[in-house]
């Protein structure tokens, strides 16, 4: 079977940091890779805000427990699992994502770990350098073909490395900078793009 690699936040679940921003009132936590494309810069910014506002891991986890997958995400994954091996490749953290992954039916998740001092988030450990590209490259090294979908700047390396890549509800700034990728505005659109590619591989 082929592999479908999906981003998590913005594709299957709401943006976790934006939910934390809403609950804490710290507007700066609204920023994502759509706003600050360099991941290390974005995470350094977030960590400063967490420290300044004394926001703990347990506070964030309580917010995450209240979250649900995006409408239609569970049905889309069910459809995808009948046709592909599905891997979720994300720049989030296991300490955040696991309750939502359970709500999605426990698909494979590849992401990062937080560094903690008790309940305080003090840093993070990347799974590897350029993890989205490397994950796709690893699947391809097993003689698997990969289709990928994401919504932001940090997904571009995954889309570039895949046999084919699509944007899902990406913002204007992303689309304008990377116009060569087709855009799905809904799960039905994404199904059509993905299925058209899949059929082309067996015809």
Q: In the structure encoding, which two tokens stand for residue 79, read together?
A: 């459809």
Give the active site residue among 7, 63, 95, 161.
7
Structural contact between residues 36 and 45, judged by C-beta atoms closer than 8 angstroms? yes
Structural contact between residues 136 and 127, judged by C-beta atoms closer than 8 angstroms? no
Give the active site residue among 9, 95, 151, 161.
9
Taking residue 14's Cβ as centre, other Cβ atoms within 10 Å add up to: 17
Alpha-carbon distance 143 to 19, whole Å?
39
Q: In the structure encoding, which two tokens stand for residue 175, read together?
A: 């689309």
Which of 94, 136, 89 has its CA nearest to residue 110? 89
**Residue 7 annotated among the catalytic residues of the structure:** yes
Structural contact between residues 10 and 66, judged by C-beta atoms closer than 8 angstroms? no
Q: Compute φ and ψ for 145, nearest 5 degrees.
A: -90, 145
Which residues are catalytically annotated? 7, 9
């Amino acid at each position: 079977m082929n592999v479908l690699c999906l981003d998590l936040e913005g594709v299957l679940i709401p943006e976790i940091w934006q939910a934390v921003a809403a609950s804490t009132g710290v507007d700066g936590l609204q920023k994502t890779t759509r706003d600050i494309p360099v991941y290390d810069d974005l995470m350094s910014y977030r960590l400063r805000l967490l420290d300044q506002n004394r926001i703990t891991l347990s506070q964030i986890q309580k917010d995450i427990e209240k979250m649900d997958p995006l409408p239609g995400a569970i049905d889309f994954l069910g459809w995808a699992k009948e046709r592909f091996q599905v891997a979720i490749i994300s720049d989030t953290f296991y300490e955040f994502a696991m309750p939502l992954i359970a709500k999605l039916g426990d698909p494979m998740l590849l992401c990062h770990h937080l560094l903690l001092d008790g309940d305080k988030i003090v840093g993070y450990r990347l799974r590897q350098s350029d993890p989205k590209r490397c994950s796709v490259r690893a699947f391809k090294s097993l003689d698997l073909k990969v289709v990928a979908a994401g919504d932001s700047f940090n997904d571009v390396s995954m889309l570039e490395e895949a046999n084919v890549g699509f944007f899902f509800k990406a913002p204007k700034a992303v689309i304008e900078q990377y116009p060569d990728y087709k855009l799905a505005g809904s799960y039905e659109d994404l199904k059509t793009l993905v299925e058209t590619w899949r059929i082309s591989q067996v015809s």
